[in-house]
Amino acid sequence: MIKRLSILLPVITLLVACNNSDNTRQNMPATTVVPVTPGKRLFMNSCMQCHSLKQDKTGPALAGVIARWGNDTTKLIAFVHNSQQVIAADGKDAYAGKLFDKWYKTTMPAFGGITDNEIRDIIVYADKGVE
Ligand code: HEC
């Protein structure tokens, strides 16, 4: 019995040591963990009910949206905070007014509770069109 233990113990110690080594984790392919960015998480919580990235749903597909707004992210952020305010301010012949008509005057809800930076994160995520 003692003899067998003296052979087994070093083997067990070695196995435990190998298991704990950080190398095992570092050698795993990077694709195994896909991090959810803040923009994606917020999009899933607040926008996905009506928007998708590449397909129209209740609202338009959001991929490429920054260019559609002439790169005016300040106005885009204002629009997400309160779309009806931007539509009223710019007039019905401006981009936002025409979009509203095209979407059968479906009103997007106002998002007062999220910060400008959070909206920017969502828009940058959605604009890329990569889920
Ligand atoms: C209840 C449905 C609904 C929700 C929820 C919603 N939207 Fe919208 N969204 C719409 C509709 C409908 C339009 C188009 C009509 C309009 O412009 O008012 C729109 C338009 C937009 C546009 C302009 C798209 C373009 O092609 O120019 C952006 C940007 C946008 N939404 C972002 C967001 C973001 C970001 C969220 C989450 C914080 C969100 N939306 C949540 C319904 C929604």
| Smallest CA separation from ligand 1 atom 7, residue | 108
pLDDT in tens, 9-33: 454 444 444 444 444 556 666 666 7
CA of 24 to the centre of ligand 1 (A): 44
CA distances from 106 to 58, 71, 98 (A): 8, 24, 12
pLDDT in tens, 49-107: 999 999 999 999 999 999 999 999 999 999 999 999 999 999 999 999 999 999 999 99
Amino acid identity, residue 69? W
CA of 42 to the centre of ligand 1 (A): 14
| Smallest CA separation from ligand 1 atom 41, residue | 47
